[in-house]
Amino acid sequence: MTLLNQTAIITGAGKGIGRATAFALAKEGVNLGLLARNHAELEALQQELTSTYSIKVSITTADISTRAEAERAVATLIAELGSLDILINNAGTATFGTLIDMEPEQWEQIIQTNLMGTYYVTRSSLPTMLAQKSGSIINIASTAGERGFATGSAYCASKFAVLGMTEALMQEVRKSNIRVTALTPSTVNTPLAVNAGLPIGDEDRMMQAEDVAELILAALKLPQRVFMKTAGIWTTNPQ
C-alpha cells in the first residue's frame, strides 16, 4: 500500500525513534506534523526534511503530559496539514529507580507522559479518523510493558497500561477501519537509553532507531484490510 500524500503526526519527533520515523515516512512522501518540547530540534529537523523531500512538514512544541497542550498541538497540526491518516504515539520518558527510592513526582511524571500523554494525543486525533472512517495509530510501548523488572515500576506500569489501552481502543475502532498497533521493542540505541544508563554494548549488533522505523513502515504498508496488533522486536545483542 502506498503512503504517498498521506499525513502523519509523530510525537517525540525531535530525536531517537521519532526522528528516524520522520525520515522513513518522509521518504515515502508522507506529509508530517511533528511534536516535541524542544523547538530547536524540531526546527532543524523540519529544515532537513523539507530540503530533501517534497513534503509538507509542520512543527509544534508541546508537553503532552499537559492535556491542554496536547489538545492544542494536535488541533494545530491537523489544521495545518488538512487531514490526518497516521498517528505515531512515540513520545516517552524513562527514569529508573526502586519504588521506595523514586520521588512520587518522578513516578507521576512517567505515568503522566507515557500513559496520559498518549491518551490525550489519541483522543484529540480520533475524531478526524472516525469522521473519515480510516486511519492507523501506532503506539510505541516496550518489552517493559510485558514484563516487570526491578527499578522499572513506573516505566513498566506506564507501558503495561499503554498496551491495555491499545488493545481496548483497537476493539473500539476497528469497525471504523482504524488500525491500532502497539510495538514492544527491547533496548534501542537512542538518547533515552543512553541517558537512562541502559547497556548499549556493541553498536553493530544493537537495535537502532532506524530499525524500529522500518517496522513502523511495514505495519503502515499492510493492506487496509489487515493490521498488526502487536509486534515485539529484540536486539540481537545479548544483555
Ligand X SMILES: NC(=O)c1ccc[n+]([C@@H]2O[C@H](COP(=O)([O-])OP(=O)(O)OC[C@H]3O[C@@H](n4cnc5c(N)ncnc54)[C@H](OP(=O)(O)O)[C@@H]3O)[C@@H](O)[C@H]2O)c1
Asked if 17 is part of the footprint of ligand X (rule: CB under 6 A), the reply reads yes
CB-CB contact of 26 with 50 (8 Å): no
Choose the binding region for ligand X from 8-16, 24-32, 78-86, 217-225 (rule: CB under 6 A): 8-16
Give the three cell numbers for residue 14.
525531535
Coil, helix or strand at residue 105: helix
Considering beta carbons, is residue 91 or 178 the nearer one to ligand X? 91
Asked if 16 is part of the footprint of ligand X (rule: CB under 6 A), the reply reads yes
Asked if 206 is part of the footprint of ligand X (rule: CB under 6 A), the reply reads no
Asked if 187 is part of the footprint of ligand X (rule: CB under 6 A), the reply reads yes
- According to CB under 6 A, which residues from 47 to 106 bind ligand X? 63-65, 90-94
Considering beta carbons, is residue 111 or 130 the nearer one to ligand X? 111
CA distance 71 to 63: 10
CA distance 190 to 170: 28
Asked if 152 is part of the footprint of ligand X (rule: CB under 6 A), the reply reads no
Pairing mode, strands 178-185 and 135-140: parallel
Helix pair angle (67-81, 118-132), 10° resolution: 30
Candidate residues 7, 10, 18, 24; the one interacting with ligand X per rule CB under 6 A: 18
Q: What are phi and psi of 157, to 5 degrees?
A: -60, -40
Asked if 122 is part of the footprint of ligand X (rule: CB under 6 A), the reply reads no
Asked if 166 is part of the footprint of ligand X (rule: CB under 6 A), the reply reads no
Considering beta carbons, is residue 16 or 33 the nearer one to ligand X? 16
Choose the binding region for ligand X from 52-60, 79-87, 191-199, 217-225 (rule: CB under 6 A): 191-199
CA distance 151 to 97: 4
* Ramachandran region, residue 16 (left: φ > 0; alpha: ψ -120 to 50; beta: rest): left
CB-CB contact of 101 with 191 (8 Å): no
Positions marked active-site: 155
**Which residues of the shown chain bind ligand X in the complex (CB under 6 A)?**
11-18, 36-38, 41, 63-65, 90-94, 113, 117, 140, 142, 185, 187-188, 190-193, 198, 209
